[in-house]
């Protein structure tokens, strides 16, 4: 990106400001959408996105709004897609046709994002998503932008971390198991582990799907035990993650656990597990203390403000959602327009190192020809002192791994 890169204002307490000059052309409040599950089984994820959206809009407006449009303020339109993929498309269609939304962020759930994409394409409304399914930017849509790692990358990061553990602590782990929920998120993450584990010389002794929201994990854990797995890669949301782990404890099944994101990262997991949460490791699409964030005082202030306002650390859903709204604001600022087509065209060439791009590891957002942030990679976290801390790769780490 050229001289139009994001600038950070020292005049506000670490809030973002935009460098473009004032224009005589002014626009009324600009309506931007958040399409996420605010009810149903995925409400936890949706609420994380919503809080991030509220903070981002507040920061943008407090910094003067869209200055090139006469200080126009952003107005958040929160749309409940529910947690049912059958409702996602019709809800999005209604919002795009009646709410005068110029751009949107969402959803953080791949199963909801996939049916929303063709609706956004038809309406010609740009949408930035923090979902991880590989198919999101593999279908040729021109109005969908994926800023997070792909699910298939998670497996590579998890396997590389296991290799690092093996080398450092001489664990000698060879036999591994993968259990995953049978959704787009679970399938894409699990397939990534399967392919990369084989290339790394690991023996995949179990590869098993389970139904999201199941109530009895004992048959699954029995299979894990029978497999002889020395390490387990579980891919689950919070309730399922807790059920699997507690069942393993009760059945005295204790392989090394390397979580697959989602439920192993959220505040609810710490609430459910209590002090026992400390020591758990998981892959993550984003973490609040990764080096690209923590090394920049202005960026580090964002998760600090988030925690002060919402009494929780900024989650892997919240961070990228905040980034999405900042990218939309940057597009409007630099194009001096709230026209959806101009916003879309700007996002398609978005390439920024540092500034707001520093929010996403490794400190760069670079949108490729498919609408994906090709610069991004996942990180590994470990729960320490009740929070997920970035421990791997070393260039992103803010804390050392603690052997429990």
- 398: CB partners within 8 A, 6+ apart: 289, 290, 291, 294, 389, 390, 391
Q: What is the DSSP string of 272-302?
A: HHGGGGTT-EEEES--TT-HHHHTSHHHHHH
Instruction: Check whether 280 has a pLDDT greater than 50.
Output: yes
Mean pLDDT, residues 56-85 taken together: 97
H or E segment to which residue 178 belongs:
strand 175-181
Work out the pLDDT band at 242, boundaries 50, 70, 90: confident
* Overall size of the chain counted in residues: 404
Whether the ω angle into residue 362 lies within 30 degrees of 0, i.e. cis, is yes
What are the tens digits of pLDDT across the range 313-346?
Answer: 999 999 999 999 999 999 999 999 999 999 999 9
Q: E strands of 191-269, at which residues? A: 203-210, 231-235, 256-259
pLDDT in tens, 175-234: 999 999 887 778 877 887 888 888 888 999 999 999 988 999 999 999 999 999 999 999
Task: Specify the range with the lowest mean pLDDT, choosing from 23-27, 67-71, 104-108, 251-255.
Answer: 23-27
Same CATH fold, 152-284+380-392 and 7-149+293-373?
Answer: yes
Question: What's residue 62's pLDDT?
Answer: 97
Q: Is the pLDDT of residue 76 over 60?
A: yes
pLDDT at 155 over 90: no
Per-residue confidence at 10, pLDDT binned at 50, 70, 90?
Answer: very low
Query: Domain 7-149+293-373 - what CATH class?
Result: alpha beta
Encoded tokens for 136: 């999101």
For residue 93, what pLDDT band results from cuts at 50, 70 and 90?
very high
Which CATH number is correct for 152-284+380-392, 3.40.50.2300, 3.30.300.30, 3.30.70.270, 1.20.58.740?
A: 3.40.50.2300
Contacts of residue 239, defined as CB under 8 A and 6 or more positions apart, other chains included, come to 213, 263
Whether 22 shows a pLDDT value over 60: the answer reads no
Quick one: what percent of the chain has pLDDT higher than 90?
77
Least confident of 24-28, 97-101, 185-189, 194-198: 24-28
Q: How much is the pLDDT for 135?
A: 93
Calculate mean pLDDT across residues 375-394.
96
pLDDT score for 154: 87
The pLDDT score that the predictor gives to residue 195 is: 81
Grade residue 21 by pLDDT with cuts at 50, 70 and 90: very low
Question: Could you report how far apart the first and last alpha carbons of the chain are, in Å?
Answer: 44
Residue 172 has pLDDT above 70, yes or no: yes
Closest CA to 24 of 72, 57, 60: 72
Half-sphere exposure of 174 (CA within 13 A, CB side): 3
Query: What does pLDDT average to over the chain?
Result: 90
Give residue limits of the domains in the chain: 7-149+293-373, 152-284+380-392
pLDDT of residue 27: 60
Task: Determine how β-strand 379-384 pairs with β-strand 387-392.
Answer: antiparallel
Residue 272: the pLDDT is 84
Say if strands 364-366 and 351-353 run parallel, antiparallel, or are unpaired. Answer: antiparallel
Instruction: Give the CA count within 13 Å in the CB-facing half-sphere of 6.
Output: 29
pLDDT in tens, 111-146: 999 999 999 999 999 999 999 999 999 999 999 999
Least confident of 66-70, 154-158, 372-376: 154-158
* SS3 annotation, 100-131: CCCEEEECCCHHHHHHHHHHHHHHCCCEEECC
DSSP secondary structure letters along 122-159: HHT--EEE----GGGGSS--SSEEE-SPPHHHHHHHHH
Q: What is the pTM of this model?
A: 0.88
């Amino acid at each position: 990106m050229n001289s139009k890169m994001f600038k950070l204002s020292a005049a506000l307490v670490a809030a973002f400001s935009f460098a473009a000059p004032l224009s005589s052309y002014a626009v009324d409040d600009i309506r931007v959408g958040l399409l996420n599950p605010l009810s149903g089984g995925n409400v936890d994820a949706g609420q994380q996105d919503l809080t991030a959206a509220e903070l981002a809009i507040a920061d943008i407006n407090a910094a003067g709004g869209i200055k090139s449009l006469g200080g126009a303020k952003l107005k958040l339109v929160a749309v409940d897609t529910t947690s049912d993929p059958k409702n996602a498309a019709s809800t999005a269609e209604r919002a795009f046709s009646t709410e005068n939304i110029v751009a949107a962020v969402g959803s953080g759930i791949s199963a909801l994002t996939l049916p929303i994409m063709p609706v956004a394409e038809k309406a010609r409304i740009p949408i930035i998503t923090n979902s991880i399914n590989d198919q999101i930017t593999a279908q040729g849509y021109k109005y969908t932008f994926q800023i997070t790692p792909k699910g298939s990358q998670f497996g590579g990061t998890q396997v590389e971390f296991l290799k690092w553990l093996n080398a450092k602590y001489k664990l000698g782990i060879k036999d591994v198991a993968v259990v995953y929920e049978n959704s787009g998120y679970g399938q894409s993450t699990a397939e990534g582990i399967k392919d990369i584990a084989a290339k790394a010389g690991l023996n995949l002794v179990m590869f098993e799907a389970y139904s999201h929201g199941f109530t009895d994990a004992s048959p699954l854990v029995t299979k894990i035990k029978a497999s002889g797995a020395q390490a387990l890669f579980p891919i689950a949301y919070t309730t399922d993650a807790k059920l699997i782990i507690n069942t393993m404890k009760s059945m005295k099944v204790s392989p090394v656990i390397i979580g697959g994101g989602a439920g192993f990262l959220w505040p609810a997991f710490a609430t459910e597990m209590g002090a026992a949460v400390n020591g758990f490791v998981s892959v993550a699409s984003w973490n609040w203390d990764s080096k690209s964030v923590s090394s920049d005082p202005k960026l580090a202030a964002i998760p600090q403000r988030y925690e002060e306002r919402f009494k929780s650390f900024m989650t892997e859903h919240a961070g990228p959602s905040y980034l999405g709204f900042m990218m939309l604001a940057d597009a409007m600022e630099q194009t001096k327009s709230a026209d959806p087509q101009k916003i879309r065209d700007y996002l398609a060439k978005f390439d920024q190192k540092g500034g707001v791009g520093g929010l996403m590891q490794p400190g760069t957002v670079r949108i490729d020809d498919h609408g994906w942030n090709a610069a991004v990679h996942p990180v590994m976290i470990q729960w320490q002192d009740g929070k997920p801390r970035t421990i791997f790769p070393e260039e992103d780490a803010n804390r050392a791994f603690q052997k429990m």
